[in-house]
């Protein structure tokens, strides 16, 4: 009998949360309402009392953060090319220009030395990405921003439950955007949040997330800025509320599974494994680099044939057509390009069994030992 298909990720949603969602549906109030306010309060408590506003995506959070940071035409935002394309797109949508710098070979995160060298008089902000939930060095990052008087917009989409220096990501820093997408460490099905600095920024975020409209007790309203529509529903907030109590358990299980990968992985295959960080990373993903010469498409097909799902997170975005048209080209960021063409995401989610990790490792050995899997 064949084994069931093993996806690269799957959310864990308990029956109590499913029942609570049914209650919300029966309540008749399914858009933004009391569950959204409760979710924001719980997140604020988690993030050291900082104001938090939930949104329909972390992308929406970054778009609003661009506005709060004052990014506009002629401004530059320094970031990494090794991320989901939303990281660069929000800069373009604000009218700014992304300034990409290469990554560190070991962490695969933005190289802060290169970032500092790229700062000009047009630099408005720096946007680091915690790839796979491994935090960028927040001490160096925040010192850099303070030294050059620029804003930090953390693309912490993958960072829920990660720590730096014993502090939860989101509990300190400047503007922090976190995702609750279906494949994240906790989910609200779709959604995210923006962690802010003070009540004034929180109020501005509220205006940006719902058309810039202010309502008054007498029934009148006003629009004070050209906002968008980024609000989260009570249905999604209810799922998020059900997830929060499990966050530590989910993170601990992810770390156990990551350790199992390190124990069982066949080093002779020539793959490059991630940094071993079992304290600060939340192990959102377990990513390896295939050896040079291995055709990634063939590898994915081979693993799929073995009943195992593989993700790709991410190709280097500066090589996409949109960014090539802005003048970016191959060869500018060799480390990001090397990672982007070879990276694969292996299955990792809390409901996995240790035996699933063994299955993945055995399948990888079988697939990568086949000579035909090598690219010509």
Check: CB of residue 92 under 8 Å from CB of residue 323: no
254 CB contacts (<8 Å, ≥6 apart)? 185, 282, 283, 284, 348, 349, 350
Give first-to-last CA distance, the chain, whole Å.
Answer: 36
Longest dimension (CA), the chain: 74
Q: What's phi and psi for 106, nearest 5 deg?
A: -85, -50
285 CB contacts (<8 Å, ≥6 apart)? 9, 132, 133, 158, 311, 313, 345, 348
Q: In a 10 Å sphere around its CB, with 0-12 CB exposed, 13-18 middle and 19+ buried, how is residue 24 labelled?
A: buried
- Residue 133: CB atoms within 10 A of its CB come to 24
Of the candidates 42, 121, 146, 184, the residue annotated as catalytic is 184
Catalytic-residue membership of 149: no
How far apart, in whole angstroms, are the C-alpha atoms of residue 52 and residue 60?
A: 14
Check: CB of residue 191 under 8 Å from CB of residue 170: no
Q: Per the omega criterion (within 30 degrees of 0), is the bond before 314 cis?
A: yes
How far apart, in whole angstroms, are the C-alpha atoms of residue 240 and residue 197?
A: 22
210-214 — which CB contacts under 8 Å span 24+ positions?
210/32
Select from 159, 235, 254, 154 the least CA-distant residue to 191: 235
**CA dist 8 → 50, 160, 186, 331 (Å):** 33, 18, 15, 30
Distance, CA of 195 to chain centre:
14
How far apart, in whole angstroms, are the C-alpha atoms of residue 46 and residue 251?
A: 15
| Positions marked catalytic | 184
């Amino acid at each position: 009998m064949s084994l069931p298909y093993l996806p690269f990720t799957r959310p864990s949603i308990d029956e109590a949360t499913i029942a609570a969602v049914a209650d919300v549906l029966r309540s008749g109030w399914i858009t933004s309402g009391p569950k959204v306010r409760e979710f924001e309060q719980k997140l604020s408590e988690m993030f050291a009392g900082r104001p938090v506003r939930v949104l329909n995506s972390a992308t929406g959070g970054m778009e609003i953060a661009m506005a709060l940071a004052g990014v506009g035409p002629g401004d530059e935002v320094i970031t990494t090319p090794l991320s989901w394309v939303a990281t660069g797109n929000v800069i373009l949508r604000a009218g700014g220009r992304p300034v990409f710098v290469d990554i560190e070979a070991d962490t695969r995160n933005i190289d802060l030395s290169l970032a500092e060298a790229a700062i000009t008089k047009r630099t408005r902000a720096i946007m680091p990405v915690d790839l796979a939930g491994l935090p960028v060095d927040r001490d160096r990052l925040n010192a850099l921003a303070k030294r050059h008087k620029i804003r930090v917009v953390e693309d912490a989409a993958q960072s829920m439950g990660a720590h730096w220096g014993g502090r939860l990501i989101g509990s300190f820093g400047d503007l922090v955007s976190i995702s609750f997408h279906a494949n994240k460490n906790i989910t609200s099905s779709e959604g995210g949040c923006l962690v802010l600095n003070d009540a004034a920024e929180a109020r501005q975020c509220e205006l940006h997330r719902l058309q810039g409209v202010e309502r008054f007790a007498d029934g009148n309203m006003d629009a004070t800025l050209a906002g968008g529509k980024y609000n989260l529903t009570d249905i999604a907030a209810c799922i998020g509320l059900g997830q929060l109590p499990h966050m530590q358990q989910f993170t601990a299980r992810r770390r156990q599974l990551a350790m199992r990968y390190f124990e069982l992985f066949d080093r002779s295959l020539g793959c490059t494994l991630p940094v071993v960080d079992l304290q600060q990373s939340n192990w959102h993903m377990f990513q390896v680099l295939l050896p040079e010469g291995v055709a990634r498409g063939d590898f994915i097909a081979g693993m799929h044939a073995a009943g195992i799902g593989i993700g790709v997170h991410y190709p280097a975005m500066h090589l996409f057509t949109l960014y090539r048209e802005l003048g970016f080209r191959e060869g500018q960021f060799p480390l990001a390009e090397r990672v982007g063409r070879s990276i694969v995401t292996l299955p990792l989610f809390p409901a996995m069994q240790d035996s699933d990790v063994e299955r993945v490792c055995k399948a990888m050995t079988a697939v990568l030992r086949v000579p035909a899997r090598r690219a010509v």
